[in-house]
């Protein structure tokens, strides 16, 4: 697989086929190639003999159908973009391990499906969660039904921690590659007390909102200077981060959030905002390592 390739994992589902076509569009826009990977399902914990038998049957079906799935995905991508360099790979390793390994040389990992559920995260594990929290490169959980890039902007969530720089770096990089604008969103809530103040009517809410704007524009301006060709809008919302990003997602084509590193509990790593978006976003969600290059 060439360096800087867009990698997409497929499993034969309609969602995975759409994810492959969307990944092909992104690869073409970025001047990259596309590598389509089919690997075995992650085993997880088989709680009963029945579950183990079902898992074995699924793995046999996936193994026997791998070449068919790969051919269908590659044909669909080549029909959309005949000029794009497309390669395929059938792997016998679990899909999360295969994609995490591929992330070392990839520009982007794309996953189809909606496997992020409470049960998956706590009991069985989830391919999307494992790849998103362990991959070296950004990971996109494909959502929605759009299989081509558009002129709609990218939305990026910027929080009040030091993680914002890394997330902004990725968002600016892809906004430049796709030749679209960027909407940087920061949220804050009037429900939480400001510092040590516990009497709400003593808080200068206007001053706090001004401080939030200042913090956001300060972070954005640093990256705007590095990417002067990217048009940026800033938004400060008085609501939860998840609701704030979802409110802007309707007018965007991609939403970018950060992960906090590696941890056994994916919910703690990604945070409630990222988990909420993986559940409810109508557009693809990009999860990137929340640290600056």
Ordered DSSP codes for the chain: --TTEEEEEE-SSHHHHHHHHHHHHHHHHHT--EEEEEEEPP-----SHHHHHHHHHHHHHHHHHHHHHHHHHHHHHHHH-TTS-EEEEEEEEEHHHHHHHHTTTEEEEEE-S----HHIIIII--HHHHHHHH-SS-EEE--SS--S--SPPEEEE--SSTTHHHHHHHHHHHHHHHT--EEEEEE--TTS--TT---GGGS-HHHHHHHHHHHHHHHHHHHHHH-TTS-EEEEEESS-HHHHHHHHHTT-SEEEEEE----SSHHHHHHHHHHHHHHH-SS-EEEEESS--
In a domain, 146, yes or no: no
Residue-wise pLDDT tens digits, 228-254: 999 999 999 888 888 899 999 989 999
Q: Does 136 lie in the same domain as 25? A: yes
Of the residues 101, 117, 141, which one is the last residue of a structural domain? 141
Mean pLDDT of 5-22: 93
* Residue 267, pLDDT above cutoff 50: no
* Listed residues 76, 109, 141: the one ending a domain: 141
Q: Which of 86, 115, 141 is the last residue of a domain?
A: 141
- Number of domain units in the chain: 2
Q: Residue 187: its pLDDT value, please?
A: 85
How many C-beta atoms lie closer than 10 Å to residue 29's C-beta?
17
Residues 175 and 99 in one domain: no
Looking at the structure, tell me whether residues 73 and 192 fall in a common domain: no
Question: Over 80: is that where the pLDDT of 67 sits?
Answer: yes
Q: Quick check: is 147 in a domain?
A: no
Over residues 65-93, the mean pLDDT reads 94
Antiparallel, parallel or unpaired: β 106-111 and 139-141: parallel
CA distance 51 to 253: 38
Checking if the pLDDT of 118 tops 80, the result is no
Residue 158 shares a structural domain with residue 122:
no
Instruction: Answer yes or no: do 161 and 268 share one domain.
Output: yes
Q: Is residue 198 part of a domain?
A: yes
Are 85 and 184 part of one and the same domain?
no
Range of the domain at 33: 5-141
- Closest to 39 measured CA to CA, from 76, 85, 7: 7
Judge if 13 and 131 occupy the same domain.
yes
- The answer to whether residues 75 and 186 belong to one domain is no
Give the Cα separation of 185 and 157 in Å (integer). Answer: 5
What confidence score (pLDDT) does residue 172 get?
96
Q: What pTM value is reported for the model? A: 0.83
Least confident of 7-21, 232-246, 254-268: 254-268
In a domain, 149, yes or no: no
Q: Which CATH number fits the domain that encloses residue 229?
A: 3.40.50.620
Q: What was the pLDDT predicted at 87? A: 96
Q: What is the pLDDT of residues 135-185, one digit of tens each?
A: 999 999 999 989 999 999 999 998 766 556 789 999 999 999 999 999 999
In a domain, 148, yes or no: no
Q: Are residues 137 and 163 in the same domain?
A: no
Say if residue 135 is in the same domain as residue 158.
no
The reply to whether 133 and 37 lie within a common domain is yes
Q: Are residues 192 and 116 in the same domain?
A: no
């Amino acid at each position: 697989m060439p360096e800087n390739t867009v990698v997409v994992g497929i499993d034969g589902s309609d969602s995975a086929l759409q994810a492959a076509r969307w990944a092909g569009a992104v690869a073409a826009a970025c001047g990259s190639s596309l590598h389509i990977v089919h690997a075995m399902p992650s085993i997880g914990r088989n709680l009963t003999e029945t579950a183990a038998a079902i898992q074995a049957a699924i793995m046999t079906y996936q193994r026997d159908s791998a070449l068919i799935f790969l051919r269908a995905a590659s044909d669909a991508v080549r029909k959309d973009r005949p000029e794009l360099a497309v390669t395929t790979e059938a792997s016998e390793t679990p899909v999360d391990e295969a994609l995490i390994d591929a992330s070392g040389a990839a520009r982007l990992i794309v996953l189809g499906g909606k496997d992020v559920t409470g049960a998956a995260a706590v009991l069985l594990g989830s391919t999307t969660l494992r790849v998103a929290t362990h991959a070296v490169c950004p990971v996109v959980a494909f959502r929605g039904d759009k299989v081509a890039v558009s002129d709609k902007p990218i939305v990026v969530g910027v929080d009040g921690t030091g993680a914002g720089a890394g997330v902004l770096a990725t968002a600016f990089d892809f906004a430049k590659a796709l030749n679209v604008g960027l909407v940087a969103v920061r949220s804050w809530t009037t429900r939480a007390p400001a510092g040590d103040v516990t009497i709400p009517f003593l808080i200068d809410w206007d001053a706090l909102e001004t401080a939030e704007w200042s913090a956001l524009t300060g972070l954005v301006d640093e990256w705007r200077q590095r990417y002067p060709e990217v048009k940026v809008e800033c938004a400060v919302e008085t609501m939860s981060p998840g609701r704030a990003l979802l409110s802007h997602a309707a007018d965007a084509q991609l939403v970018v959030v950060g992960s906090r590193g590696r941890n056994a509990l994916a919910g703690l790593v990604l945070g409630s905002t990222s988990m909420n978006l993986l559940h409810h976003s109508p557009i693809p969600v990009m999860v990137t390592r929340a640290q600056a290059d």
